[in-house]
């Protein structure tokens, strides 16, 4: 997790920038700081700190990610138009049109507050529009929100709760959909204690106890796998342990009735190697040394998650009989997993920007905005369709379908096509016949059985489907059928 220094100064920000920027660019970042410092002169935050401390912290978070200097510069000035007399035109004149455009996008999102469901939905739509236009706006907004969460104690309890709730229910799931694991985890764990304080303390204690009990086994396992990989000629970029984020652990504990013995990834060893071949070689070596748990080998390299996540996962009976997970990936996969869409503006160790190889996220945002978002009128529907935990299932041909958690075969059918949904008479999950209200799980292969004799959807499906699209198609078809029936029984006009 990115740590913001307690006494953060512009010098510390510039030190981070020097790790991947040339001297001219570092000077430009300093100039942006001085411009923002002058604009915010005399302003203070609720905590009593100088206002400049907030944009400085936002920029620092982004600089630690080695992100495009344009984004760092925009983050330093992101609150200027809203809170000072300096205008966007002034920023464009002194810096660039691109910088001013990002700040304009952030300013539009400045009014996103919970003020009743209707207005809130409208603001959420604005957020999706802003993301579809320039996702860099959302990257800055995430960093901005993370710093705000670290200073929540200076706000009144009701405001504290609202900001934490928004972060947990809206911002973190969007970060997840954009593949930004690092930001998702920080948004969740910083919000968690303000929404569920007792549960937060309980989960923290469970994780600490697990780590304490497994510390020795973790050390032995790390040493042994390092030696074996070296012998086999597999070059390791990095090998480190990873603790499960607290809110993510809390969600798993709820599903498992708080039985920690059923959760295998509280601690994991993460191996970062040079290429895909080394990923599979490392997996083979691990399975030669330790016995894997049945059903716990997951290949997200061959079948990535819908948000682009790639990695190999396996759970083994490790040293001293301790069960632990391994995650194996390349450096590129690791950056993608940590930073998601932000990885496309990420600079490597030599100050070279990584190429944008995948623009699926941008197409996804445009599709959400164009096709479905305009029809949503309910906050819960929006949360289920876009912010809920998502699963990915497969068609018999191997195509990946992204659905909300607990979606059914009927949701799957309507996702393929409305006609398939209307004529759905049965389903198979992993070649087994199941009822149409069976909740799907990630990795399931789903086959829909259709019948020409079926006249349309069952009204009962409305009780079990999860997606807005399925509900809309079922409702429209039922209404159309009802109307046709009424026309058939009403006397015809002469």
Q: Catalytic residue numbers?
A: 82-83
d(CA 328, CA 307): 18
d(CA 278, CA 229): 10
Structure token digits, residue 478: 């039922």
d(CA 175, CA 138): 9
d(CA 355, CA 348): 11
In this structure, are residues 2 and 184 in contact, taking their beta carbons and an 8 Å threshold?
Answer: no
In this structure, are residues 380 and 373 in contact, taking their beta carbons and an 8 Å threshold?
Answer: no
Q: Where are the alpha helices (DSSP H) in 179-291?
A: 181-195, 197-231, 246-255, 276-289
- The neighbouring-strand residues paired with 434 are 427
In this structure, are residues 269 and 222 in contact, taking their beta carbons and an 8 Å threshold?
Answer: yes
Structure token digits, residue 234: 């597999």
- The neighbouring-strand residues paired with 273 are 236, 330
Sign of CA dihedral 431, 435, 438, 440: positive
DSSP state of 152: G
d(CA 395, CA 388): 22
In this structure, are residues 382 and 141 in contact, taking their beta carbons and an 8 Å threshold?
Answer: no
In this structure, are residues 225 and 165 in contact, taking their beta carbons and an 8 Å threshold?
Answer: no
Q: Where are the alpha helices (DSSP H) in 325-369?
A: 331-339, 360-367
In this structure, are residues 186 and 166 in contact, taking their beta carbons and an 8 Å threshold?
Answer: no
CA–CA distances in Å: residue 53 to residues 61, 69, 147, 306, 325 = 12, 19, 10, 37, 39
Instruction: Give the side-chain half-sphere CA count within 13 A for 352.
Output: 3
**Where on the phi/psi map is residue 346: left (φ > 0), alpha (ψ -120 to 50), or beta?**
beta
Sign of CA dihedral 274, 341, 55, 87: positive
Structure token digits, residue 377: 């009128």
Structure token digits, residue 212: 């304490």
Task: Kindly report the length of the chain.
Answer: 494
d(CA 100, CA 86): 12
Structure token digits, residue 379: 């906050």
Helix axes 53-63, 10-18, angle to 10 degrees: 20
């Amino acid at each position: 997790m990115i740590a913001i220094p307690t006494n953060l100064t512009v010098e510390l920000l510039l030190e981070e920038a020097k790790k991947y920027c040339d001297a001219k660019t570092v000077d430009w970042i300093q100039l942006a700081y001085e411009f923002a410092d002058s604009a915010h002169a005399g302003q203070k935050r609720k905590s009593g700190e100088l206002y400049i401390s907030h944009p400085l912290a936002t920029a620092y978070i982004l600089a630690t990610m080695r992100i495009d200097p344009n984004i760092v510069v925009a983050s330093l000035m992101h609150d200027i138009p809203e809170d000072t007399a300096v205008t966007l035109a002034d920023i464009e004149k002194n810096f660039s049109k691109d910088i001013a455009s990002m700040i304009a996008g952030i300013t539009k999102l400045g009014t996103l507050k919970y003020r009743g469901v209707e207005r809130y939905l409208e603001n959420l739509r604005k957020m999706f529009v802003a993301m579809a236009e320039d996702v860099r706006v959302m990257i800055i907004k995430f960093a901005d929100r993370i710093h705000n969460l670290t200073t929540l104690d200076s706000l009144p309890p009701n405001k504290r709760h609202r900001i934490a709730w928004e972060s947990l229910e809206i911002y973190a799931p969007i970060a997840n959909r954009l593949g930004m694991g690092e930001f998702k985890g920080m948004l969740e764990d910083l919000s968690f204690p303000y929404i569920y304080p007792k549960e937060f303390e309980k989960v923290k204690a469970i994780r600490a106890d697990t780590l304490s009990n497994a510390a020795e086994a973790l050390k032995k396992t790390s040493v042994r796998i390092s030696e074996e990989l070296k012998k086999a000629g597999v070059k390791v970029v990095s090998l480190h342990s990873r603790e499960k984020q607290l809110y993510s652990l809390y969600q798993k504990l709820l599903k498992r009735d708080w039985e920690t013995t059923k959760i295998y990834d509280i601690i994991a060893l993460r191996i970062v190697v040079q290429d895909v071949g080394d990923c599979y070689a490392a997996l083979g070596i691990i399975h030669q040394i330790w016995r894997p748990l049945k059903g716990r080998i997951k290949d997200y390299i061959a079948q990535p998650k819908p948000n682009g996540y790639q990695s190999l996962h396996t759970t083994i009976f490790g040293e001293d009989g301790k069960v632990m997970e391994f995650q194996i990936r390349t450096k590129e996969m690791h950056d993608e997993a940590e930073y998601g869409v932000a990885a496309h503006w990420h600079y490597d160790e030599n100050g070279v920007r990584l190429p944008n190889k995948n623009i699926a996220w941008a197409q996804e945002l445009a599709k959400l905005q164009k096709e479905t978002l305009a029809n949503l009128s309910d906050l819960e529907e929006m949360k289920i369709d876009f912010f809920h935990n998502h699963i990915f299932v497969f068609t018999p041909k191997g195509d990946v379908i992204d659905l909300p958690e607990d979606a059914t075969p009927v949701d799957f059918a309507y996702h393929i096509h409305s006609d398939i949904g209307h004529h759905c008479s049965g389903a198979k999950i992993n070649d087994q016949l199941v009822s149409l209200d069976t909740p799907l799980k990630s990795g399931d292969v789903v086959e829909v059985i259709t019948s020409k004799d079926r006249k349309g959807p069952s009204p009962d499906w409305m009780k079990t489907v999860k997606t807005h699209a399925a509900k809309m198609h079922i409702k429209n078809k039922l209404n159309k059928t009802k109307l046709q029936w009424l026309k058939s029984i009403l006397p015809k006009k002469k």
